[in-house]
Amino acid sequence: MNDSIKYTLLLLSSLGLLASCASMDVPNELIPQRVEVHEGTFDHSFPVSMGDEANFNFIASEYERIGAGPMVITATYNPHAPNDPAEQARLAGNSIANSLRTRSIHQIAVKALPVNDYASAGQILVSFDTAEAKPPSACEGRELGLAAGQTISEELDGYHIGCSVEAQIARQIANPRDLTGRAQGGEGIDGRRTVNAIQGSGYYDDKPNKQLAPLESSANTQ
């Protein structure tokens, strides 16, 4: 065996050893998290005189988008003002509630709140719980889209595969609180209610089904 063959075999064996020592683990770029539910509170205030269509439309659109509970309308008033200020505040709150009910908001409570700070009197406070479905926090700011002068490799650096999918799924969730696993119909809801609804009917009546008659062709039935 000449020297060139020996050197070639030695080189190949060395490369084989290096390959066996190299790590075969490749980082997984697939985002492991799923859609998140962000819960909070919506608070919006304005003077009674500003109870106009623009405010009502804004409140209604936000409630439709992220509302997750009853709405509370609080009308503040000066307890030392003449002409029954508490009743005037309730009337103002009820008027605004009626306007919002025409925009498909039905769970509304109205309260009148006395305030010692006269500058805060005559205000309308609107609040409700919110729930919003969003893509995983790790995806924030990582949506694909090249900026001016940016290369593909720069854009993909640190990008998690699946963020765009999770963002699209989040936009399609109508009631984000469904993802929290909370009961939405009161206490004691479990499989027993479903069983009671079907017990004694169909396959669940504990009685054998009637014997089926044999099939006959139309020619034999004439």
Domains, the chain, ordered by start: 38-133 (3.30.1330.60)
More confidently predicted of 95 and 183: 95
Between residues 200 and 187, the one the model is more confident about: 200
Average pLDDT, the chain: 76
Q: What is the pLDDT of residue 24?
A: 55
Q: What is the mean pLDDT of the segment spanning 97-111? A: 94
Q: Are 124 and 96 in contact (CB under 8 A)?
A: yes
pLDDT one-digit tens code per residue, 200-222? 555 555 666 677 777 776 655 55
Q: State residue 177's pLDDT score.
A: 78
Name the most confidently modeled range: 152-156, 161-165, 190-194.
Answer: 161-165
pLDDT in tens, 125-161: 999 999 998 888 877 765 555 444 545 555 555 566 7
Residue type at 39? E
Per-residue pLDDT averaged across 157-184, rounded?
76
**Is the distance from CB of 124 to CB of 45 less than 8 angstroms?**
yes
What is the DSSP annotation of 95-160?
A: HHHHHHHTTT---EEEEEEE-S-GGGTTEEEEEEEEEEEE--GGGTT----PPTT--HHHHHTTPP
Whose CA is closest to 43, among 66, 19, 11?
A: 66
Q: DSSP 3-state assignment of 187?
A: coil
Q: How far apart are CA 151 and CA 213, in angstroms?
A: 73
pLDDT at 11 over 70: no
Residue 40 has pLDDT above 60, yes or no: yes
The answer, yes or no, to whether residue 124 has pLDDT greater than 90, is: yes
pLDDT tens digits along 55-102: 999 999 999 989 988 999 999 999 988 989 999 999 999 999 999 999
Per-residue pLDDT averaged across 12-19, rounded? Answer: 56
